[in-house]
A and B are shown apart, each in its own frame.
Chain A
Amino acid sequence: MKMKKLAAMALAGTLAAAPAMAELVIPDLSYRTGPYAAGGTPFSDGYQDYFNLLNARDGGIGGEAIRIVECETGYNTEKGVECYESTKGEGALIYQPLSTGITYQIIPKATVDEIPIHTMGYGRTSAANGEVFNWVFNYPANYWDAASVMVNYLLEENGGDLSGKSIALIYHNSAYGKEPIRTLEELSAMHGFELSQLAVDHPGQEQKSQWLQIRRERPDYVLMWGWGVMNQVAVQEASNIGFPMENFIGNWWAGAEHDVTPAGAGADGYKSLNMNRIDADLPVFGEIRTLVHEAGNAAGDGSNVGSVLYTRGMYAAMLAAEAIANAQEIHGVTDVTAAMVRDGMASLEITEARMAELGMSQIGPEFSVSCENHGGSGLGIVQQWSAADSQWVALTDYIAPDDSVIDPLIAADSAAFAAENNIEPGCL
């Protein structure tokens, strides 16, 4: 059996090495090891399974087979750069590194190499300005949207008035965690709430002093920008100090099943944002189970289907696949290049009809991308963990961010980037 498998792998290797075969190369810069693996694994499983489904069901995209090149980054920027360099030569069409640090690293490189990057709900927020960041996309939403959606949700809970309230932000002390600070400071000045900031260093296991401070200062709300093991520790610590969980809100990277299950019943009531809906009964999951998993092509152990981050990884793959299909349509060829995929992304339109057709009705908001706006609609929902049922329950419909606050910030930050790098803003 083992020999057979090895032989099959060797055969697959020689087939993959054959240069004549036209194919769509999708690198998957995943991380299945290290302190962030709990989040990286289901995302990567969903990402790969969807492309494998397209290969099995439709023979790829537009008749071109998809080849996934996986590379382990461990959420480490140095390894991320190595992965980028080692995969770009294979004809990579699109990068989704699932790491804000790696994104910052490869934005300039990919711009020079002319390969599009899609950072869905992470990465550099000001990349939403497509005239400065021609090759970077962060639809359907970004961190500043998330911060604004959180504040809008709290406004709604408090009858439209947050003045005099205190909000603490507990964040991963990295580019990722620092992203929302500017927006929250702006919003705090606007709505009159008091903002305090608590940084947690990589990897995030040490949070005792931060939660001690929260216990002492008793903020009305705690917002969290966490990832990996930091989320689990934070939820546990919050439950240890008896912080009211319904006033503790994580962003969309701090709201997966594995973040809350370790704290058991203590995590009940914890809220988080989500940019996609979770529905384990989506028809697409059934197709993945029958066509991919039963055929033995599952990316991981197949246990993550339908979980929050698996769904999001699959959603990311769907957006990439739709952009490639769009590019094929625009340019009239099936064997698209990275530059063509960029065009496909810049004119992407996701409608409910299309999502339903793909078997993932209502998975995300409807949005369209343009050359100027790479950021999508910025909508987010608030979900709450129910420990008794072991599932996330959506509390709200999609909440819109306050664009009047975010747009000037994006304009200012992208203008600074353009000035620093001598970029003349404009459409390609």
Chain B
Amino acid sequence: MLYREAGDFKTTYVADNQTFPLKLDRIGFWITMAVAWLVIPFVINDYWASSLLVPFLIYAIAAIGLNILTGYCGQVSLGTGGFMAVGAYACYKLMTSFPDVNIMIHIVLAGGITAVVGAAFGLPSLRIKGFYLAVATLAAQFFLVWLFNKVSWFYNYSASGQISAPERLVAGVAVTGPSTPAWAQYLICLFFVTLCAVIARNLTRGTIGRSWMAIRDMDIAAEIIGVNPLKAKLTAFAVSSFFVGIAGALFFAVYLGAVEVGEAFGIQKSFLVLFMIIIGGLGSIFGSFAGAAFLVLLPVALKWIGVDVMGWPTDLVAHFQLVIVGALIMFFLIKEPHGLAQLWRLAKEKLRLWPFPY
């Protein structure tokens, strides 16, 4: 009753093809955008920015990137952490080599460099599939982390091997470095998230997205109907790595400010992003956001409940956190293997029929 398509008539093809065909969806989308762009920047503080919203937005970009590769094109990748590292180190080298160029350009260029690296590591996907490909991308993960640790040119020969982001301004406001205001940190991430989500959504609705999905569903059949697997797989790797690279650049420059490759971009990061898209829903942009929110916000919420509300010892809460997050992952995988996105779809289906289900 409340959520319905009845009466929502389309009279043009353009109207029929829009991103959100249902009026209610459109309203919901614009309200979300309005809150994100016009309300949150005015109420945000340091804690909300650096503990919750900024990591959530950055992981959402990474999850969208991996979802394109794994969810839409069916190529399992365990190299996300390594590709994020490429984005971070590319951004660092660009920032320090060309300090006068705007950081926004550096972040996009870092994405571009990661796309090239990602496509190179995607080459084996033409010959190997499934678990074997996962192992090949795992090699990328370890190789890239080793490379950034070993070759000191990447970290400008600093004694500690850490890279730290110098202060850079956008329109006169610092967006990297310690004196960044919380709202600026948030807005630059929100800008890139919005951009990436719109690009991803439209790519997946177009020719290229359809060719990815054809490859995912059955690569031999796709080849027979004229989809070029070389092009489809490599573009998936490139586009996916582009997003992951942007996420890595933001993660380093805007969120943490200083990173150590082994710790920040280790194999756990690859798994974390993979869990995000599995829990959120493979092949869904909304799922990328839902998964990122679930895995970023839940530990903080559990910590808040355990330590601040209940007053339990911190180590007990940290252990419980692992147990609860693990149990919830299993619960979701058993009860809803298609992730949070599918739950959302079902909820919408129920709402359509409510109050007269059949």
Residues of A that sit less than 8 Å from B by CB = 9-10, 12-13, 30, 32-33, 37, 41, 70-72, 74, 76-78, 81-82, 85-86, 88-89, 100-101, 104-105, 108-109, 111-112, 124, 173-175, 178-179, 181-182, 199, 201-202, 413, 420-422
Contact = CB atoms under 8 A, between A and B. Distances in A.
Nearest to B259: A77
B256 A179 contact: no
A33 B263 contact: no
Question: How would you classify the secondary structure of chain A's contact residues: helix, strand, loop or mixed?
Answer: helix
Among B159, B179, B257, B262, residue most surrounded by chain A Cβ atoms (within 10 Å): B159
B311 A78 contact: no
Given A13-B311, A85-B50, A421-B166, A105 B179 contact: no
A304 to B, nearest CB: 14
Interface of B: 46-47, 50-51, 55, 149, 159-162, 164, 166-167, 177-179, 256-260, 262-264, 266, 300, 303, 307, 310-311, 313-315, 317-319
Given A72-B318, A199-B149, A77 B256 contact: yes
A33 to B, nearest CB: 4
B159 A182 contact: yes
28 contacts: A33-B318, A71-B307, A72-B303, A72-B307, A76-B263, A81-B51, A81-B256, A82-B50, A82-B300, A85-B46, A85-B47, A89-B47, A101-B263, A104-B260, A105-B258, A108-B257, A108-B258, A109-B257, A112-B178, A173-B149, A174-B260, A174-B262, A178-B159, A178-B160, A179-B159, A202-B262, A413-B159, A420-B166
B263 A108 contact: no
B179 A112 contact: yes
> When A and B form their complex, which 4 residue pairs have the shortest distance between CB atoms, in order from nearest?
A32-B315, A108-B178, A175-B160, A72-B314
Nearest to A299: B313
A36 to B, nearest CB: 12
B160 A124 contact: yes
B256 A175 contact: no
A109 B55 contact: no
A173 B262 contact: yes
B162 to A, nearest CB: 5
Among B166, B167, B178, residue most surrounded by chain A Cβ atoms (within 10 Å): B178
B55 A201 contact: no
B51 A86 contact: yes
Contacts of A101: 162, 260, 263
A72 B315 contact: yes
A105 B257 contact: yes
Contacts, number: 103
Nearest to A72: B314
Nearest to B149: A173
Nearest to A88: B46
Nearest to B304: A86
Contacts of B264: 77-78
A181 B159 contact: yes
Contact of B263 (A13, A174, A178, A420): A174
Contacts of B303: 72
A77 B159 contact: no
Contacts of B256: 77-78, 81, 105
Contacts of A199: 149
Contacts of A422: 167
Contacts of A32: 313-315, 318
A10 B312 CA distance: 11
Nearest to A144: B159
Contact of A104 (B50, B162, B318): B162
Given A70-B314, A72-B315, 10 more contacts: A32-B314, A32-B318, A71-B314, A76-B263, A81-B50, A82-B300, A85-B51, A101-B162, A104-B260, A175-B260
B28 to A, nearest CB: 30
Contacts of B177: 108, 421
Given A82-B51, A174-B161, A77 B314 contact: no
A10 B311 contact: yes
Given A108-B164, A109-B178, A74 B318 contact: yes
B179 to A, nearest CB: 5
A112 B174 CA distance: 13
Nearest to A34: B318
B262 A201 contact: yes
Given A10-B311, A72-B318, A104 B258 contact: yes
Contacts of B310: 9
A256 to B, nearest CB: 18
A355 B71 CA distance: 63
Contacts of B263: 76-77, 101, 174, 202
Contacts of B319: 33
A109 B174 CA distance: 14
Contacts of A104: 160, 162, 164, 258, 260
A421 B167 contact: yes
Nearest to A17: B308
Nearest to B161: A178
Contact of B311 (A9, A71, A100, A181): A9
A98 to B, nearest CB: 14
A104 B162 CA distance: 8
Contact of B266 (A30, A71, A109, A202): A202
